[in-house]
Amino acid sequence: MTTSPRALPAPVQSVLDTVHARNPHEPEFLQAVHEVLESIAPVLETHPRFVEDGILERLVEPERQIVFRVPWVDDTGRLQVNRGFRVQFSSVLGPYKGGLRFHSSVNLSIIKFLGFEQVFKNALTGQGIGGAKGGSDFDPHGRSDAEVMRFCQSFMNELYRHLGEHTDVPAGDIGVGAREIGYLFGQYRKITNRHESGMFTGKGVQWGGAEVRTEATGYGAVFFVQEMLGVQGDSLDGKRVAVSGSGNVAVYAIAKAWQMGATPVTASDSSGYVVDDAGIDLEVLRQVKEVERGRIHDYAARRPSARFVEGARPWEVPVDVAIPSATQNELDQADALALVGNGVRAVAEGANMPTTPDAVHALQQAGVLFGPGKAANAGGVATSALEMSQNASRQRWSFGDSEAKLRAIMGGVHDAAFTSAERYGRPGDYVVGANCAGFERVAHAMQAQGVI
Ligand code: NDP
Ligand code: 2IT
């Protein structure tokens, strides 16, 4: 179960060369494309028509890219100008679907990598949703609610014309949570004079949001770990778990890990990490991060059993399971080797592409179960699709029913990746399995719908 580099078939290499020539300054996008194209060779051997029909050439080029100015006025009366993005990658399986990220690092490369990943992730869920991503280099940290509202309104003043329940349906991502979604949805409603519930997911449960959407990505990642361990006759019960991040995904990964009998011992943010040998106290974590919008060292200050390690990442802590849930490329080869040295059994990506390619290789070489984000964090967008269903039929499903659906979906995602890896001769390689299964669904639909 390794991803050893091997020579690519000539037509795939030619597409990759074109992608490099066309997007020379987009390292994250190139990284994401490499990972997919390197692993789908077995599908192309089985279906040579995918190559002849130019599926690859079209897949690597977004259907539409929107880049726009977002002017707004801060609390001191100063004009601020940010850049807004929406990359509508593929609508072959359904309306464009994917989150919005507000973070100072956001640029076209990052939005394109996320949009590209989203196409295959969404296909893997088996739901009728296409792939997109958007966002801005606006950083909500330290901004007042009024500033965040004015920014969101200005952002939507442009983006609204590209959205709609049958066209493009955003949701949250880094820096976009319940507060931002409320302001964005409100401005869309104001401009269009339509209460179009299904045009945004992750809404408040009082006004059209689905139960379990908030919890879904973190819960889903833990369900995915349980599925991987289950195949080996093992479970999460009694395991020590390292989680990075302390946002939406991390908090609910920690919550579900506790519920499954494991002990989550770390959380982090961009300043460093905390390790708590008594296990992360969820109430203290949520008070610090969600209520006070504070920093992760504030957690350690309130817990005698915890310590804060500044400027480092949690992968040096001995654990059985790791769930990176902060951002891209946050677990590199040295981190992977440290995890392996400490006997890690499974790593599942709660974040999008948090593990560098050489780190994935090191983990798989060592026989560690590795769940790529396209599969492991698909619970968020899958539950977004459940929200769209409820909005379309004006129904509300209970928390229990919705969580049972999420669990079944994650089982299906796991099985699709697992059986695809076996079918294509790479048993146990969830990277190949997820990419091949997602790609096949998208490619068949593109073939059926002609050259558009
Ligand atoms: P949040 O904004 O809620 O939390 C992000 C967390 O990651 C914060 O703790 C943040 O710390 C940390 N972080 C962000 N950027 C960096 C960085 N450059 N270096 C170190 N730490 C960083 O976002 P989410 O929890 O929603 O998203 C986390 C990851 O999960 C992202 O990769 C996202 O794409 C992915 N994801 C999210 C889904 C969702 O439903 N929300 C669905 C699927 C994937 P700080 O406050 O210091 O910035
Ligand atoms: O990366 C992701 O899958 C998300 N941020 C969630 C997307 C969604 O539309 O729910």
Class of domain 64-207: alpha beta
Rg (CA), the chain: 21
pLDDT of residue 125: 98
pTM attached to this predicted model: 0.97
Predicted confidence band at 4 (pLDDT cuts at 50, 70, 90)? Answer: very low
Would you list the domain boundaries of the chain?
1-61+427-452, 64-207, 216-371
Mean pLDDT across 3-16: 80
Substitution candidate for ligand 2 out of 121, 381, 388, 391 with most atoms within 8 A of CB = 381
Q: Which atom of ligand 1 is nearest to the CA of 171?
A: 40
Work out the number of other CB atoms within 10 angstroms of the CB of residue 270. Answer: 14
Q: Which atom of ligand 2 is nearest to the CA of 101?
A: 5
Give me ligand 1 centre to Cα 133, in Å: 15
Residue type (1 letter), 177 = G
By C-alpha distance, which of 33, 8, 17 is closest to 357? 33
pLDDT of residue 7: 82
Domain 216-371 has CATH 3.40.50.720: yes
Distance in angstroms (rounded) separating the CA atoms of residues 20 and 58:
15
Mean pLDDT across 55-62: 97
Domains 64-207 and 216-371 share a fold: yes
Nearest ligand to the C-alpha of residue 266?
Answer: 1
pLDDT of residue 335: 98
Does the pLDDT value for residue 3 go beyond 60?
Answer: no
Distance in angstroms (rounded) separating the CA atoms of residues 432 and 210:
32
The 10s digit of each residue's pLDDT in 199-215 is 999 999 999 999 999 99
Tokens of 7: 């020579």
By C-alpha distance, which of 101, 108, 31 is closest to 66? 108
The 10s digit of each residue's pLDDT in 317-330 is 999 999 999 999 99
Does the pLDDT value for residue 218 go beyond 60?
Answer: yes
Give me the residues paired with residue 331 across strands: 355
Predicted confidence band at 67 (pLDDT cuts at 50, 70, 90)? Answer: very high
Q: Which atom of ligand 1 is nearest to the CA of 354?
A: 32
Q: Are 362 and 339 in contact (CB under 8 A)?
A: no
pLDDT of residue 6: 63
Average pLDDT taken over every residue of the chain: 97
The 10s digit of each residue's pLDDT in 235-272 is 999 999 999 999 999 999 999 999 999 999 999 999 99
The 10s digit of each residue's pLDDT in 377-427 is 999 999 999 999 999 999 999 999 999 999 999 999 999 999 999 999 999
Distance in angstroms (rounded) separating the CA atoms of residues 301 and 283:
14
Q: Are 249 and 377 in contact (CB under 8 A)?
A: yes
Taking CA atoms, 195 is separated from 3, 169, 421, in Å, by 48, 14, 43
The 10s digit of each residue's pLDDT in 177-203 is 999 999 999 999 999 999 999 999 999
pLDDT of residue 265: 98
Distance in angstroms (rounded) separating the CA atoms of residues 151 and 361:
41
Tokens 């987009």, residue?
26
Cα angle 203-206-211, degrees, rounded to a multiple of 5: 65
Does the pLDDT value for residue 227 go beyond 80?
Answer: yes
Give me ligand 2 centre to Cα 43, in Å: 26
Give me ligand 2 centre to Cα 201, in Å: 9
Query: Maximum CA pair distance of the chain?
Result: 63
Domain 1-61+427-452 has CATH 1.10.285.10: yes
Nearest ligand to the C-alpha of residue 139?
Answer: 1
Predicted confidence band at 145 (pLDDT cuts at 50, 70, 90)? Answer: very high
Does the pLDDT value for residue 5 go beyond 70?
Answer: no
Give me ligand 2 centre to Cα 380, in Å: 6
